[in-house]
Amino acid sequence: MQKNAKKKNAAEPIYKPYLTGRAMSALAARRGVRILGLLLLFAFIGVIASGVFSFNNLALRILFNGIVLAFCAGVMYTEGSRQGENDVAFAEIALGRQNDGKAVTDADKDICYHRMKGFVTALIGAAPFVLIALVYALVAVKQRYTLGALPSWVSAYETQDEIGQALAYYHETAALTLPDILRVAVRLFLFPYMNMLGNGNYEKLYLLDKLSPLLTLIVPVFYGIGYLRGPYLRALVHGNIRLARRKQNRSQRKAREQRAQKMRKKPEQKELI
């Protein structure tokens, strides 16, 4: 019974026609800057959270770093949903103006809802990350084991010809190359994924490097998914408005019936007197 009552009181979505806009525009590019800013913020959060959630237990690493990724994706989804609803609302007004014979400018069409606009905006915002990851994926090589520093007591043996030449290998340093620079940037973006794998797993890290262009798109794509909910969220607004009007009309009708009953009772009381 309670579930049926809740269904009756719940608003049903009412879809209204709207003017379809354009997916690619200067406005989408400007919105992409906001997406870029969010991604930079997420990278900063990922670095901090990954340092905190560097557990030895694989299950715990996956759990807590997964929560970080879910939070970032949720923020993107919410942002896309909000923007999609606003664009549908503007598109409904623009269609009404067009039907009234008023001019609808190109700038107005840029604001109007288009189902692909969210994905285009997300791609524009993530483009710097994707391009860097793509270049690194093409030049990435599998990391090898690196030698550590020699203890101080070994330095006495470096002057001996038999041992010194072998120990000299520990002092050789490799030049900083483009893949090294790109690796730092890409893994900064993908810190939660890298933290799930753990340190020293060079085989899986190499696979992560090769898949980095796709991994950088996982969080931004939730903006486009959220944007697709714009028409539904706007329809719920219309449904809530209709539901509120029905409740108001019902309460007003009930109040009129109560006043009418009181008016009928007054003459009966006078006759009794």
Query: Mean pLDDT highest for which of 114-118, 150-154, 178-182, 186-190?
Result: 114-118
d(CA 79, CA 16): 23
Largest CA distance in the chain: 132
Closest by CA position to 202, among listed 139, 144, 260: 144
In the structure, what pLDDT confidence band is assigned to residue 54 with cuts at 50, 70 and 90?
Answer: confident
Rg of the chain, C-alpha, whole Å: 31
Per-residue model confidence as pLDDT tens digits over 70-129: 999 999 999 999 999 999 999 999 999 999 888 999 999 999 999 999 999 999 999 999
In this predicted structure, what is the pLDDT of residue 1? 43
In this predicted structure, what is the pLDDT of residue 241? 82
Q: Are 139 and 178 in contact (CB under 8 A)?
A: yes
In the structure, what pLDDT confidence band is assigned to residue 200 with cuts at 50, 70 and 90?
Answer: low
Per-residue model confidence as pLDDT tens digits over 142-165: 766 555 555 555 555 555 555 555
In the structure, what pLDDT confidence band is assigned to residue 6 with cuts at 50, 70 and 90?
Answer: low
pTM summary value: 0.78
**126-165: buried (b, 16+ CB within 10 Å) or exposed (e) per residue?**
bbbbbebbebbbeebeeeeeeeeeeeeeeeeeeeeeeeee
d(CA 271, CA 266): 9
